[in-house]
Structure 1
Amino acid sequence: MPHNDEPPVTLRIFGKQSRFLREQREMTRRELADLIPYSESLIAMVERGERPPKPGYVDAVDAALGANGVLRVLIPDVAEKHHPAWAEEYVNLQAEALALHVYSTHFLHGLLQTEDYARAVFRSVRPSMDDEEIERSVQARLATQSLLTRKPACRMTFVLEEPVLLRKMGGRAVWEGQLKQLLKLSELHNLQLQIMPLSRETHAGLDGPMALLETPDYHTVGYVEGQQGSYFLTEQHDISEMSHRYGTIRAQALDAEASRAFIQRLLAGESSA
C-alpha cells in the first residue's frame, strides 16, 4: 500500500503547466489573482498540486494566461472528486472492510455523522469550501454510511474522546441531534461505541487518531490522517503496535453501557464528569 503524502500526478502536472504558462508571461501570482475571481493563496495551492481546481478556475486561468485551451483540455483529468484525492483509497477500502476500528480525537468519524453535523464539519474546513462543494462532500459522506447496515455486516468499534462529544459543532440543535444519533447507532448489533473520559490519568492514545481496517482477504491495514494528507501502514510490526495500542485505548475507555449513559447525561444537561 503506497503512502499518499504526495499530490496526485495529474494535479502536479496541471500545477506545473499552469505555473509555467504564468511565468512565461512574467506574471506573479498576485497579478494573476487580480485578473480572476480566485485568491493568490488558492493559485499557489493549485500550482503545487495541493488543491484540485474547479472547472471555473481552469477556465479563468486559461483565459487570463491566453493559453488557448491548453489548460481547459485537462479539466476531465483534474476536476474535483467527491472525496479528496488522498482519501479515495481509504473510502474504497472502508466500503469493503470486514472490520473497522476507529479512534477519534477531534470530531466524529464520517460513519457516525448526521447530515447537519457533516455540513458543519465541512463548513469549518479552511481554506473555505463554497456551498456547492460542501453539499457534494456532505452527500458523498452520507453515502459511505451504507456500511453501517451492509450485509454481510462489518464489525465496527469506535472510541471517542470526551471533547468530541462536548464540542457543539453546528450549534446546540445540531449537537443534540448528533447525540441522539449516537445513541441510536450504539444499538446496532455490529457496532460498539465507547467514550474516553477526560478523567483518565493514563492514556494510550496520545499519538493521535487512527483507524484499523480488516480487508476482505483478512489482512489488517492501518490508516492515519494528518493536516495535508494521509498514509497507510501495512508492515506487520506497525500493525502489531497499532493493534496493541488500540486494544489498550478500548480497555481504558468507558464500556459500551457506561458510554451510553454518558451520552444520555449530556442530553439531559448533566455534567460530563
Structure 2
Amino acid sequence: MSVDVDEPGWEVDPDDEWGVAVIATVGRQLKLRREAVGMRAAEFGAAVGYGEDLVYKVEGGKRIPRQEYLEQADEVLGAGGLIAATWEDVKKVRYPKRVRELGKLEAKAAEIGVYECNSVHGLLQTPEHARALIEAAQPTYSPDDVERMVAARLARQSVFERDPVPSLHFVLEEAPLRRRVGGTMVWHQQLERLLEVGRMKGVTFQIMPTDTDAHPGLDGRIELLKFPDGSAVGRSDGLFSGRPVFDPKQLRILELQFGTIRAQALPPRESLDFVEKLRGET
C-alpha cells in the first residue's frame, strides 16, 4: 500500500544542524542513486510504496525516512546495503536535539538520581501521560512535534533495559501524583507504572509527602548523573542558573541537597504503599 501523506513525527527539526545535515546527505544519496538507474520519482515511489510527493520530500531533506523505506530503497536501487546502513545515523535524528543529548548521558550513566517537584519525571511517564502533558503546553505544539517529543521521551526509558541496570533513585512530590493528567484511566495507568518501576531491581522510589517540612528541592528539579569513569554531571533549577555543572564543588552541593531530600522523603516500601493507596482512591 502506498504511503501518500506525511505521518506525525517524521519532520526534520530545523534547529538541529547536525540532524538537518544527516537527512540532507541521505536524501541526496537517494536521489543520485535513483537518477543513476534512470528511475523517475513516481516510478521509484511505486516500487518502495511511497507517494511521489513523499519521495521528493525525503530526497530534499525535508522528511526523515523510515527504516523500511531505506531498506526497500536499497533493494530497488541495488545499493548492496549502503542505503540501508544509513538508518544507524537517521534513527538518532528521529528525536529532538536537546532530548537526544540528555538521552545519551542517561544511557551512559552508572547512577541516576532525580528529584521532581512539579510532575512525574520523564523516565517514569506512560505514553498517554506524556502526550497529555505535552499537548497541554502553551503555545501549543504541532501534531508532528507532539509525536516526536512523546517518542523521544519514551526512547529514554530504554535505560531500564540496560545490562547491568544502572542504580536509579527517584523522589517525586505527592501533589503531582494526585493530578489526574489525561483523565482517570490515564492517571490510574500512570500510578501502576510507578509501582512497576518502583519494584524493579536497582530502583529506589520515594515519595515526598505534602505535609513535610521545607526541604532543598522547593526551588525545583534536581538531577545527578554519575558515570563509570568517576565523572558526574548535575543540574538544579534553583542553583547555578539551572545550567548543567561538572565542577566537583558544585556537584557536592547538589549531592548534599539530594541526600537531604531523600532523607526527608518516605522510605521506599512506604512510598509504594502510598501509591497503592492513592490508586485505590479511584
Per the normalisation by structure 2, the TM-score is 0.64
Query: Counterparts of 1:138-157 in structure 2 under 5 Å?
Result: 138-157=150-169
Structure 1 counterpart of 2:207, from 166, 188, 195: 195
More helix per residue: 2
1:178/1:9 Cα in 2 relative to 1: closer, same or farther (>3 Å)?
closer
Matched letter for residue 156 of structure 1: L
Matched letter for residue 229 of structure 2: D
Which residue of the partner structure matches residue 112 of structure 2? 100
Would you say the 8 A contact 1:87–1:230 is kept in 2?
no
Which residue of the partner structure matches residue 266 of structure 1? 278
Matched letter for residue 198 of structure 1: T
1:138/1:87 Cα in 2 relative to 1: closer, same or farther (>3 Å)?
closer
State the alpha-carbon separation in 2 of the partners of residues 183 and 126 from structure 1: 31
Would you say the 8 A contact 2:99–2:153 is kept in 1?
no
Cα deviation 1:131-188 (Å, max 9, x = unaligned): 2221121112111111012101110000001112011111111000000111111110
1:113 partnered with 2:107:
no
State the alpha-carbon separation in 1 of the partners of residues 214 and 156 from structure 2: 34
Structure 2 counterpart of 1:215, from 224, 227, 234: 227
CA shift at 1:113, angstroms? 0.7
1:129/1:139 Cα in 2 relative to 1: closer, same or farther (>3 Å)?
same
Name structure 1 gaps, 5 residues minimum. Answer: 1-7, 12-53, 57-80
What SS does structure 1 have at the residue aligned with 2:243? strand
Which residue of the partner structure matches residue 174 of structure 2? 162
1:147/1:192 Cα in 2 relative to 1: closer, same or farther (>3 Å)?
same
Query: Counterparts of 1:1-273 in structure 2 under 5 Å?
Result: 82-224=94-236, 231-269=243-281
State the alpha-carbon separation in 2 of the partners of residues 260 and 82 from structure 1: 35
Cα deviation 1:50-80 (Å, max 9, x = unaligned): xxxx959xxxxxxxxxxxxxxxxxxxxxxxx
State the alpha-carbon separation in 1 of the partners of residues 202 and 190 from structure 2: 19
Would you say the 8 A contact 1:82–1:137 is kept in 2?
no
State the alpha-carbon separation in 2 of the partners of residues 176 and 158 from structure 1: 19
Name structure 2 gaps, 5 residues minimum. Answer: 1-14, 19-60, 64-92
Cα deviation 1:223-245 (Å, max 9, x = unaligned): 2469xx96211111110010011
What SS does structure 2 have at the residue aligned with 1:237? helix
Q: Percent identity?
A: 36
State the alpha-carbon separation in 1 of the partners of residues 100 and 279 from structure 2: 35
Matched letter for residue 212 of structure 1: L
Would you say the 8 A contact 1:113–1:178 is kept in 2?
yes
What SS does structure 2 have at the residue aligned with 1:259? helix
CA shift at 1:125, angstroms? 2.0
CA shift at 1:126, angstroms? 2.1
What SS does structure 1 have at the residue aligned with 2:244? strand
Which residue of the partner structure matches residue 49 of structure 1? none
CA shift at 1:9, angstroms? 9.2
- Deviating beyond 3 angstroms after TM superposition, the runs of 4 or more aligned structure 1 residues are 8-11, 81-88
Matched letter for residue 123 of structure 2: L
Cα deviation 1:56-110 (Å, max 9, x = unaligned): 9xxxxxxxxxxxxxxxxxxxxxxxx654434443221111110100000111111
Matched letter for residue 90 of structure 1: L
Relative contact order (C-alpha < 8 Å, sep 6+): which is higher? 1
Q: Whose radius of gyration is greater, 1 or 2?
A: 2
Matched letter for residue 223 of structure 2: A
State the alpha-carbon separation in 2 of the partners of residues 132 and 174 from structure 1: 22
What SS does structure 2 have at the residue aligned with 1:232? coil
State the alpha-carbon separation in 2 of the partners of residues 111 and 168 from structure 1: 18
What SS does structure 2 have at the residue aligned with 1:206? helix
State the alpha-carbon separation in 2 of the partners of residues 90 and 208 from structure 1: 18
